Amino acid sequence: MRAILCPGQGSRPTALLPDVEDGAPQQESVGSSPVPKAVRRLVREASAVCGLDLPKLVRQSVENPDGEPLGTHVAQPLTVLISLLSALRAGLLGPAEGERAALDGPQPGTVVAGHSLGSVTALALAGALSPLEAVRLAAVRGRAMASCCTADDGTRLGGMSAVVGGEREDVLAQIHAAGLTVANVNGATQVVASGTFEALARLSAPTGARLVPLDVAGPFHCPLMAGAAPALEQAVRCLPDRPLLRPVVDDATGELHPVGTSSRVLLEALAGKLTAPVRWDLVQERLVALGTDEAVVLAPAQVLAGLARRGLPGVRLTRLS
């Protein structure tokens, strides 16, 4: 079985977006589709629905890799767009002809899963959202979360740190003792804590563990993000209900949502996930239980590919760019 894995906001873009000017090359075949023309159209339309010049913002970030990370309001629609472009180039943006029959069987032929923001991308690959709906929803999510990241005077409220190694019970005890929230459980050896900078300063690594501060714009997946929920709830109310064309593994519970499931259930869950932990450990356990033998990580793939290498032993891994 093949799993398509959709990254969250943690990975910075490492390559420029394709040229969207009319003078760019018109075709490059993937199957029978003129992909570059479709790629340029998606980039142009995504920039329009976000009200952002995404190619220019990517260029600035790539040319200054040691600078501040892109703001959440930019990074989220941009990450979803980059993921969708990599899927489009690889012919993975929708179920291929004949794949539907495989999906209707007792074992899904292709399953999708997204880490945090990647859940939006996963819903696009599952047919619950169009590509532009996914980018637009990510833009709403990003703007709403960005407003929760700073105080009225513009100062940042908090951040995130990974605790790598150590015994799980000891790690969780230290996180809670510092007044932090468990934001991500990424596997057997990595838990991410989120909260204010004051609480992060109190966090100490238990025996056998080390702390890795994360290059993120805010304290995601903790109660400080609660204010972002109403905007996301309103945005998903405007979206149509569609049956899933591919099964989706839920990044909060590891539950498998089969083909035909109403997209409404998954869309309405997005707002609650803003303050809930990502349980990528449960996602990977589910993928192993399903007999996954191939995992394709959409771009930007750095972080999620690393988690897959550790959490999906023996699975053939492909990183898209």
Task: Report the alpha-carbon distance of residue 69 to residue 305 in Å, rounded.
Answer: 20
Token readout for 85 is 């472009």
pLDDT digits (tens, 9 = 90+) for 28-60: 444 444 457 888 889 999 999 999 999 988 888
What DSSP designation does 104 have?
A: T
Task: Report the alpha-carbon distance of residue 5 to residue 55 in Å, rounded.
Answer: 24
Residue with tokens 């600035």: 60
Token readout for 4 is 């398509």
Decide if 308 contacts 295 (C-beta within 8 A). Answer: yes
Whether the link from the prior residue into 300 is cis, omega within 30° of 0, is yes
The H or E element spanning position 84 is: helix 72-89
Q: Range with the lowest mean pLDDT among 23-27, 90-94, 122-126, 291-295?
A: 23-27
Token readout for 106 is 């007792």
pLDDT digits (tens, 9 = 90+) for 182-199: 999 999 999 999 999 999
pTM above 0.75, yes or no: yes
pLDDT digits (tens, 9 = 90+) for 269-288: 999 999 999 999 999 999 99
Question: Residue 24: pLDDT band by 50, 70, 90 thresholds?
Answer: very low
Using CA atoms, how far residue 218 sits from 66, 114, 149, 304, in Å, is 18, 20, 5, 19
Count of all residues that appear for the chain in the document:
321
pLDDT digits (tens, 9 = 90+) for 139-193: 999 999 999 999 989 899 999 999 999 999 999 999 999 999 999 999 999 999 9
pLDDT value of residue 11: 65
The H or E element spanning position 85 is: helix 72-89
pLDDT value of residue 107: 41
Task: Report the alpha-carbon distance of residue 39 to residue 134 in Å, rounded.
Answer: 15
Beta strands per DSSP E along 169-220: 181-187, 190-196, 209-213
How far does Cα 106 stand from its chain's mean position?
27
pLDDT value of residue 68: 75
Q: Calculate the average pLDDT of the chain.
A: 89
Supply the residues annotated as catalytic.
116, 221
